[in-house]
Amino acid sequence: MVNKENSSPAELQAKITAMREGGKILGNLLRDLKNYVKPGMTGKEIDAWVRKEIIARGAKVAYDMLDDEFPGAICISINDELVHGAPKDEPLEAGDKVSFDLDIYYKGYFTDSAFTMLVGGTGSPAIKKMISVTESAMWEGIEQVKPGARIGDIASAVEKVLRAGHLGVIENYVGHGIDKEMHSAPEVPNYGKKGHGYKLVEGDTICIEPMSCLGKPANHVEGEDNWTVKMNDGSTGCHCEHTVLVTKDGYEVLTLPD
């Protein structure tokens, strides 16, 4: 991770400027995606739209840069799929839960964000509550971010909200550092103890991304794509994420839309 301790002021400022710009592109794209998705669309149709929009907005498709090829420009995880869902030909139905997870590459830096929604805006009250609680957990974690805070402070805050909402807490997928690399240290789990772990410094950029489920948290990779992660018990999974900059006095969420 590029931070204040191992980079020049000019390099740090270049990073912050590029990630602010890239984060805004990503935030606006995901806002537009949420309005674009309708029942009857297929994952592959949505993926093609996202790819076109990334390029049109001046960024690059980050998933094309992976060593292990991902079959799409965006992860689309439906119902019992938790994360890393490969885009498919099956049409979405009203009431389906779908999680979208997107990295983009802009001016040498990555940004990363995710959200979960119900297709058509209607669906199970339990799933609606799961999405709301998971988003709240993400924001509670973000609120802990400041110089001197520990990763465990974030992790503990996220876990507390998820467990209070009676959700399964996913432990085998975590948040992470991000800047010139898509994933770097430190890991940012969705469970932990306050006062433990890496101490944040001004200029750090991390992804806070709670993952939850309505059933038991055990999951597995399934399918020919060797990417899509599904819940073992067939329950519904949820994923929310923002890229966050550690500022002098606290934090700045880089992946919000205008």
pTM of the model: 0.96
- What pLDDT does 244 receive? 99
Closest CA to 63 of 100, 33, 19, 24: 100
Burial class (CB in 10 A: 0-12, 13-18, 19+), 183: middle
CATH no. for 9-253: 3.90.230.10
Residue 5 has pLDDT above 70, yes or no: no
Tally Cβ neighbours within 10 Å of residue 8. Answer: 9
What confidence tens digit (pLDDT) does each residue in 114-149 have?
Answer: 999 999 999 999 999 999 999 999 999 999 999 999
Q: Where are the domains of the chain?
A: 9-253
